[in-house]
């Protein structure tokens, strides 16, 4: 699906505030509320918009420590096996296959360092995980959604 400038503006608007009314968005882009709704529905159907959610502060919910855990597997381990193991641990908020020496990178959120140690021990108990290497996040310098602008792919 090719996005025109109005689609891009609608998506950017919803990224800033998904609770915006179609009327408010329409006033901003020069369309009626029903026209905005039709466009949003089309963007959802095309998979451009995957869903609407509340953005929370993990620290306010008690998850004050964030870490990235590089996972090194024994032999050849298929990504689905890593995904299945990672999904068993609610502290793993994302898992990625990556280039480099390690087989996967896990994004982990925990209460404190004792909780992180527990999660690492549980991960290492997976029979195919040889070892892990952890990086604890001290502060976030930049985090953003993909910006729809001049530098987007064609």
How many CB atoms within 10 Å of residue 70? 17
> Is 87 inside any structural domain?
yes
For residues 70 and 126, give the distance between their C-alpha atoms in angstroms, rounded to a whole number: 14
Is residue 87 domain-shared with residue 38, that is, in the same domain?
no
pTM of the model: 0.77
**pLDDT tens digits, residue range 25-62?**
999 999 999 999 999 999 999 999 999 988 888 889 99
**pLDDT tens digits, residue range 54-105?**
888 888 999 999 999 999 999 889 999 999 999 999 999 999 999 999 999 9
Is residue 73 domain-shared with residue 125, that is, in the same domain?
yes
> Is 37 inside any structural domain?
yes
**Total domains in the fold of the chain:** 2
> Is 145 inside any structural domain?
no
For residues 85 and 77, give the distance between their C-alpha atoms in angstroms, rounded to a whole number: 11
Contact 109, 63 (CB under 8 A): yes
> Is 79 inside any structural domain?
yes
Residue 9: which domain range?
5-45
How many CB atoms within 10 Å of residue 38? 13
pLDDT at 151 over 60: no
Is residue 26 domain-shared with residue 69, that is, in the same domain?
no
At 28, which CATH number? 1.10.10.10
Is residue 93 domain-shared with residue 31, that is, in the same domain?
no
pLDDT > 70 in the chain, percent: 94
Confidence of residue 147 (pLDDT cuts 50, 70, 90): low
Exposure pattern of 47-64 as b/e (b: 16+ CB <10 Å)?
ebbeeeeeeeeeeeeebe
> Is 148 inside any structural domain?
no
Q: What is the mean pLDDT of the chain?
A: 92
Is residue 21 domain-shared with residue 84, that is, in the same domain?
no
CA angle 122, 124, 126 (to 5 degrees): 85
pLDDT at 154 over 60: no
């Amino acid at each position: 699906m090719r996005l025109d400038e109005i689609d891009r503006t609608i998506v950017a608007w919803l990224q800033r505030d998904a609770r915006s009314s179609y009327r408010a968005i329409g006033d901003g882009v020069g369309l009626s509320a029903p026209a905005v709704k039709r466009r949003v529905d089309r963007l959802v159907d095309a998979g451009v918009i995957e869903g609407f959610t509340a953005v929370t502060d993990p620290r306010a919910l008690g998850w004050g420590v964030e870490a990235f855990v590089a996972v090194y597997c024994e032999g050849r381990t298929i990504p689905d096996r890593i995904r299945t193991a990672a999904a068993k641990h609610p502290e793993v908020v994302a898992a990625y296959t990556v280039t480099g020496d390690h087989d996967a990178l896990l994004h982990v959120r925990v209460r404190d360092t004792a909780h992180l140690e527990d999660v690492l021990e549980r991960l290492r108990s997976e029979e195919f995980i040889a070892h892990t290497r952890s990086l604890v996040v001290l502060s976030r310098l930049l985090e953003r959604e993909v910006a729809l602008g001049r530098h987007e792919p064609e």
